[in-house]
Structure 1
Amino acid sequence: MKKNTLSLVLTLVFGLSALANPVDGEKKEVKTDESKVTWKAYKVTGSHTGTVNLKSGTLIFDDNGMLTGGEFEADMTSITVTDLEGEYKDKLEGHLKSDDFFSVANHPSSKLVFTNVKSTGKNAYEVTGDLTIKGITKPVTFDVSIYGSKATATMKIDRAQYDVRYGSGSFFENLGDKTIYDEFDLVVDLEF
Structure 2
Amino acid sequence: MKVSFLRSAVLAAALGLGALGQATAATYTSIDGQSSKIGFGYSQMNVKMDGSFAELKAPTFSFDPANPEAAQVTLEVVLASVDAGYDEATEELAKDEWLALGAHPLATFTSTKVEALGDNRFQVTGNLTIKGITQPVTAPFTFKEDDKGGVFEGAFSFKRSDFNVGEGQWKDTSIVADDIQITFSVVGQP
When normalised by structure 1's length, the TM-score is 0.73
2:111 pairs with 1:114: yes
Percent identical among aligned pairs is 21
Task: Tell me which residue corresponds to 2:41.
Answer: 40
Partner SS, residue 181 of structure 1: coil
- CA drift of 1:191 comes to 1.2
Residue ranges of structure 2 left out of the alignment (5+ in a row): 1-25
**Gap regions ≥5 residues in structure 1:** 1-24, 83-88
| Residue in 2 that maps onto 1:190 | 186
Instruction: Tell whether the 8 Å contact from 2:36 to 2:56 is kept in structure 1 after alignment.
Output: no
**Runs of 4+ off more than 3 Å:** none
**Whole-Å separation in 2 of the counterparts to 1:38 and 1:55:** 11
Distance 1:66 1:94 in 2: 39
Q: CA deviation at 1:27?
A: 4.8
Paired letter, 2:32: K
TM-score, scaled to structure 2: 0.74
Whole-angstrom CA distance in 1 between matches of 2:89 and 2:67? 42
1:146 aligns with 2:146: no
Displacement of 1:55 in angstroms is: 3.5
RMSD: 2.1
CA distance in 2, matches of 1:62, 1:143: 17
Q: CA deviation at 1:63?
A: 7.3
Say whether the 8 Å CA contact 2:68–2:114 is kept in structure 1: no
C-alpha contact 2:160 2:179 (8 A) present in aligned 1: yes
Q: Which residue of 2 aligns with 1:133?
A: 130
Moved more, 122-131 or 55-64: 55-64
Give the aligned partner of residue 78 of structure 1.
Answer: 81
- Secondary structure (helix, strand or coil) at the match of 1:190 reads strand
SS of the residue 2:92 aligns to: helix
Partner AA of 1:125 in structure 2? F
Number of equivalences: 156
In 1, the alpha carbon distance for the partners of 2:93 and 2:84 equals 9
1:187 is displaced (CA, Å) by 0.6
Deviation at 1:42, TM superposition (A): 1.2
Offset, 1:190: 1.2
Aligned to 1:60: 62
Q: Deviations for 1:120-143, whole angstroms, at most 9, x for unmatched residues?
A: 112111111100000111100111
